[in-house]
């Protein structure tokens, strides 16, 4: 992944120049990451994204003109639909849930270690979703106090999933990437992508982050692949 052609194109958005430049210097040392733009506010970020087409946007949750959640919604209306990860010092379940509902692929605290942040960026680039581990249990508690994404917990809609699709949803719910799921289930990445697409279509969800939220709501992530009456699949294709 060291050549420029395979580098992940990233835009940084943070109104604090020191934080933005510091993160930029860290990412500049990574051969598989290219910082293509920096923005100090949401409006500037929207313009730069339209012109430069970054693959991933790392943004602070609180910005002076357009907060990270609003910006996420706006960015995902674009044809290119960059992946958005909130990187913030704002430790809030409300912001975390709001960001994921808006379509963000992750929520990382600025106190996260550099290696963990880099791993999170690479996981998102591969199609994964990342949540700071210290906030995962708080997210689950918060979700218990809000209306579900699928009315009634989605039990009937979950029953439309095949055993393999249900197992894929269980893996998505704990944040695994397609390649990790493929290795776990003994299938190809292309097959997993097909199953993910089918899960999203059957549950009428926008992306795998919403699928992860639905999995949390339904307890899929807690019960594991054999939950909801579905038998675990074998490792054969």
pLDDT band at 235 (very low <50, low <70, confident <90, very high): very low
**How does pLDDT run across 110-166, given as a tens digit for each residue?**
999 999 999 999 989 988 788 887 776 666 666 656 555 555 445 567 888 999 999
pLDDT at 173: 78
How far is the C-alpha of 190 from the C-alpha of 194, rounded, in Å? Answer: 6
Percentage of residues in the chain having pLDDT higher than 70: 81
Domains of the chain: 4-142 (3.40.50.2300), 151-223 (1.10.10.10)
Burial grade of 22 (CB within 10 A; 0-12, 13-18, 19 or more):
middle
Q: Which of 46-55, 78-87, 152-161, 197-206 tops mean pLDDT?
A: 46-55
pLDDT band at 108 (very low <50, low <70, confident <90, very high): very high
pLDDT band at 92 (very low <50, low <70, confident <90, very high): confident
pLDDT band at 48 (very low <50, low <70, confident <90, very high): very high
**How does pLDDT run across 194-217, given as a tens digit for each residue?**
999 999 899 888 777 778 778 777
Average pLDDT, integer, range 56-73:
91
């Amino acid at each position: 992944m060291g050549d420029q052609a395979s580098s992940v194109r990233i835009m940084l958005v943070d109104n604090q120049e020191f934080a933005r430049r510091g993160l930029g210097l860290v990412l500049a040392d990574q051969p598989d990451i290219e910082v293509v733009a920096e923005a100090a506010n949401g409006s500037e970020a929207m313009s730069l994204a339209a012109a430069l087409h970054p693959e991933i946007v790392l943004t602070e949750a609180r910005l002076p003109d357009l907060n990270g959640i609003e910006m996420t919604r706006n960015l995902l209306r674009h044809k290119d639909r960059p992946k958005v990860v909130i990187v913030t010092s704002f430790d809030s379940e409300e912001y975390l849930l709001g960001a994921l509902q808006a379509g963000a692929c992750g929520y990382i605290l600025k106190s996260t270690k550099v290696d963990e942040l880099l791993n999170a960026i690479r996981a998102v680039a591969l199609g994964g979703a990342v949540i700071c581990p210290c906030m995962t249990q708080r997210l689950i508690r918060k979700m218990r106090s809000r209306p579900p994404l699928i009315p009634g917990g989605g039990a009937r809609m979950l029953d439309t999933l095949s055993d393999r699709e249900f197992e894929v949803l269980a893996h998505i719910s704990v944040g695994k990437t397609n390649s990790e799921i493929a290795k776990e289930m003994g299938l190809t990445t292309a097959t997993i992508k097909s199953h993910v697409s089918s899960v999203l279509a059957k549950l009428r969800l926008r992306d795998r982050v919403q699928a992860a939220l639905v999995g949390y709501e339904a307890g899929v992530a807690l019960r594991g692949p054999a939950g909801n009456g579905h038998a675990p699949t074998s490792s054969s294709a």
